[in-house]
Amino acid sequence: MFNKDRWREILEVLTSNWFRTLLTAFGVFWGILILIVLLAAGKGLENGIRSNFGDIATNTMFMWTQSTSMAYKGLPKGRRFYFKLEDVEAIKQNVPNLRFVSPRNQLGGFNGVNNVVRGIKTGAFNVYGDYPDIINQDPMGITSGRFINELDIGEKRKVAVIGEGVKASLYDVGEEVIGTYLKIQGVNFMVIGTYKKNSNDGNAEEIQKEIFIPFTSFSQAFNQGNNVGWMAITANDNSSITQLKEQIFAVVRENQKIHPQDVRAVGHFDLFEEFNKVLGLFMAMRYIAYFVGILVLLSGVIGVSNIMLIVVKERTKEIGIRRALGENPWSIKLQIIMESIFLTMISGMAGISFGALVIYLINYFLETNGPVEMFLNPSVSLGVVITALNILVVSGLLAGFIPAQSAIKVKPIEALRME
C-alpha cells in the first residue's frame, strides 16, 4: 500500500491534467462541505433550543387542578377541588421512582397588581410557597444568603428568597438586602437570600422577579390551610415521568373522589414529553442533513467515477502494455481504486477543512454581533468528521470500482491493438 512507485504513479496520473482533476475534486469538496455545514447548522439550532430549556430538570411534570367533568360517588360534575398535602404524601407513598414531589402555592404573577411593598417602593412579583427541593427542579444560583431549608418549613418562618430583579426594583444599588423586611400582601417577610436564574429565553427578565417563601409559611400567612396550588414532580433519571404520570393521576383521582376516567379534572404539562418532541425534531434534522449532504456528495462521487472511466479509457493501451509485460490485473485494479480514493480523500478533506473554516466564521460573527435567538455555537463533533471520512473512503472505493473493473475487462491483446 505505501509503495513509493505506486504513489508516484498516482500523482503522475492526477497531475497530468490539473484542470480536470480540480473540477472533479470540486464535486466531492462541495458535497462534503454541504454535509458539514448542514450538520453544524442543525447542531447550532439544537444548542440554541437546549439552552432555552436552561438548567430545568427536564424529566419533570407540572400538575394542577381543574374542575371535574364527570359525576362520581354522588358528587356532581363541574366540581372544583384543591390538591391537599395528603395528596402529596399519597403520591410519595404509592408511586415509585419519583425523585422530587414539590407542592407549590402561588400568589400574584404576570400583570398582577402590586403585591409587594418595601418602604415607599412597590412591585408586582410572583410569590411562591415552596419546599427546599424546588431548587433542584427549577435551578437557580444563590447569589447571597441561602435558600429555604427544612427548618424554615418546620417552624413556618416568615423568610423570603428574592430574585435579582426584585432586588433591583425594591432596593437601591449597593444596599444590604439580607435581613431586611418585605411586606407581601400585608405580611412581613425577612429576606434571607437572593438568586439569579440562567436562561436566555424570552422571559429572562421575568424569571428574575420571583420571591420564594416556605410552603408552610405561605399557607399560614395567606389562609391556604393544607391546599396545594400545583405540583412539580420529577422522576428518577432512569425512569421517565411520561410513563409514571398515569399512576400519579390515579392516586390523585382516588384521593379526591374523581371518576377514574375523568381525564379533564387534573391538568398537567409534561416537560419531558415536550423535550423529547424537540429532541425528535433534532434527530429528524440530522437525518435530513445527512440525506441531503450525502446526495450532494453522491453527485460528486459520480463525477469522480466518470472521470476515472475516461482516464481508464485513455490509458487502455498503456494498461495493455503493462499487462503484456506481466503486471497482475489486481495490481492495475488496486492502482485505479487508489487513485479514486486518493482523489476523493484529498478533496473531501479540503471540504471538511473549508467547512470548519465556515463554522469558525459563523461562530466569530455570532460572538461579535451578540447572540441570535434559537441559534448557538454551531459545531460538528469529531465523530461527525470521522463519519464523513469513512463516507469518503467508501465513496472513493465505489467510484473507483467500476472503472477498475472496466480497466481489466479489456483483454491485453485488444488493448494493444488500439491506436
Partner 1 sequence: MIEIKNLHKSYKMGSNSLHVLKGINFSVEEGELVAIMGSSGSGKSTLLNILGMLDVLDEGSYTLDGVPIKNLNETKAAQYRNKFLGFVFQSFNLINYKSAMENVALPLYYQKVGRKERQEKALKYLEQVGLREWADHLPSELSGGQKQRVAIARAMAAEPKVLLADEPTGALDSTTSYEVMDLIQKINDAGNTILIVTHEPDIADMCKRIVHLKDGVIVEDKKITQIRASQYV
| Crossing angle of the two packed helices 18-53 and 382-409, in degrees rounded to 10 | 150
Binding flags for partner 1, 223-262, as an x/- string (CB under 8 A): ----------------------------------------
Residue closer to partner 1 (CB basis): 121 or 411: 411
Residue closer to partner 1 (CB basis): 164 or 327: 327
Binding test (CB under 8 A) with partner 1, winner from 34, 104, 322, 395: 322
Binding test (CB under 8 A) with partner 1, winner from 202, 326, 370, 383: 326
| Crossing angle of the two packed helices 271-314 and 316-324, in degrees rounded to 10 | 70
d(CA 85, CA 92): 11
Q: 291 CB contacts (<8 Å, ≥6 apart)? A: none
d(CA 163, CA 205): 10
Residue closer to partner 1 (CB basis): 184 or 408: 408
Question: Closest separation between CB of residue 345 and partner 1, Å?
Answer: 23
The helix (H) or strand (E) run that includes residue 46 is: helix 18-53
Question: Closest separation between CB of residue 331 and partner 1, Å?
Answer: 8
Binding test (CB under 8 A) with partner 1, winner from 321, 334, 366, 374: 321
Question: Closest separation between CB of residue 19 and partner 1, Å?
Answer: 17
Q: 94 CB contacts (<8 Å, ≥6 apart)? A: 247, 251
The helix (H) or strand (E) run that includes residue 164 is: helix 164-170
Binding test (CB under 8 A) with partner 1, winner from 71, 151, 190, 324: 324
Please, which of residues 9-48 interact with partner 1 by CB under 8 A?
12, 16
Spatial contact of 228 and 103, defined as CB atoms under 8 Å apart: yes
Binding test (CB under 8 A) with partner 1, winner from 323, 340, 376, 391: 323
User: Does 310 help bind partner 1 (rule: CB under 8 A)?
Assistant: no
| Total residue count of the chain as it appears in this document | 419
User: Does 416 help bind partner 1 (rule: CB under 8 A)?
Assistant: yes
Spatial contact of 158 and 217, defined as CB atoms under 8 Å apart: yes
Binding test (CB under 8 A) with partner 1, winner from 54, 109, 145, 412: 412
Terminal Cα distance for the chain, rounded: 32
Q: What is the DSSP string of 319-352?
A: HHHHHHTT--HHHHHHHHHHHHHHHHHHHHHHHH
Binding test (CB under 8 A) with partner 1, winner from 1, 2, 4, 80: 4
Question: Closest separation between CB of residue 323 and partner 1, Å?
Answer: 6
Provide the 3-class DSSP secondary structure of residue 182. Answer: strand
User: Does 330 help bind partner 1 (rule: CB under 8 A)?
Assistant: yes
Cross-strand partners of 65: 266
- The residue count for binding partner 1 (CB under 8 A) is 24
Amino acid at residue number 184 = I
Residue closer to partner 1 (CB basis): 62 or 342: 342
Question: Closest separation between CB of residue 324 and partner 1, Å?
Answer: 5
Give, in order, the Cα–Cα distances in Å from 320 to each of 67, 195, 338: 89, 81, 19
Residue closer to partner 1 (CB basis): 167 or 323: 323
Please, which of residues 331-390 interact with partner 1 by CB under 8 A?
331
Spatial contact of 128 and 209, defined as CB atoms under 8 Å apart: no
Applying CB under 8 A, the span of 4-12, 76-84, 134-142, 234-242 interacting with partner 1 comes to: 4-12
Applying CB under 8 A, the span of 226-234, 278-286, 342-350, 410-418 interacting with partner 1 comes to: 410-418
d(CA 61, CA 275): 11
User: Does 175 help bind partner 1 (rule: CB under 8 A)?
Assistant: no
Question: Closest separation between CB of residue 338 and partner 1, Å?
Answer: 16
User: Does 327 help bind partner 1 (rule: CB under 8 A)?
Assistant: yes
Spatial contact of 337 and 400, defined as CB atoms under 8 Å apart: yes
Which residues lie near partner 1 (CB under 8 A)? 4-5, 12, 16, 317-318, 320-331, 408, 411-413, 416, 419
